[in-house]
Homo-oligomer: A and B are copies of this chain.
């Protein structure tokens, strides 16, 4: 008697990474148990990783085109990549190197900064909803509504009771998005305390990178333990079936880029978008065209 239903079995390579990196729904998340230098699956070194990422480009672009094409015939499906992580964890680098593999016309990128006065006057999800990808698009959030349970918690920007309700609000919001055709890919870029110091020092040592540095970064860093705890709570409470969290070890940039690319590929392959059929008479149109 077979123990597994293998009718839907796929090659082992496929769909593997998201199972490996996914955060368990029920169990507490202890970030100290996740090594930011780990290579839990995939290419073993930098040369292989860079090559493997480049090798994904054609498939990603092709799936993106099909996703967009399908939307022109009413398919509402789309991707929303949510990138979170401390300063220097590589959110911007991921956009540059991973999203750079796609056709920019189909990407909707939003970097969330500190809320404006107008945004602060609205519920915290208001500005998020305005930045959502449209059907067929790949949306990318560099920071997101999770800031409202991260910096908001660490800096005590809202009363604890209001903060406490936000986790469930986020889960309901994401559930609704999923029901409307949004595939959420929520990625926590996990770096070590040491690696952050090294990257901040790199910025200081290179005048061309001074614009990326704020004196406030050092103060934020001093609150590292509180931020790690806030991330743990968010990962733990908001990793749902509709919208799971993935922890990507990000001390190695090449691994981070490969892993995020691979996660996007697996989700796009799962969506499996198809070119829509035309609603016109091909032969008649060809005849008319040839007459012009």
**A278 touching B210, Cβ below 8 Å:** yes
Smallest CB gap from A107: residue in B: B104
Contacts of A197 in B (CB 8 A): 289-290, 292
User: Given A105-B142, A204-B286, A286-B201, A276 and B210 touching (CB < 8 A)?
Assistant: yes
Nearest-neighbor residue (CB-CB) of A65 within chain B: B208
Interface string of A23-58 (1 = CB under 8 A from B): 000000000000000000000000000000000000
Q: Please list 12 pairs of residues, one from A and one from B, whose beta carbons are closer than 8 Å in the complex, sorted by A's number.
A: A96-B104, A99-B104, A99-B105, A100-B103, A197-B290, A201-B286, A201-B290, A207-B278, A210-B275, A210-B278, A214-B280, A221-B292
Known: A95-B105, A104-B99. A211 touches B111 (CB 8 A): no
Contact indicator per residue, chain A 196-220, by CB within 8 Å of chain B (1) or not (0): 0100110011011011111100100
Contact of A211 among B73, B201, B208, B213 (CB under 8 A): B73
Q: Shortest distance in angstroms between A197's beta carbon and chain B's nearest beta carbon?
A: 6
Contact with B along A209-249 (1 / 0, CB 8 A): 01111110010011000000000000000000000000000
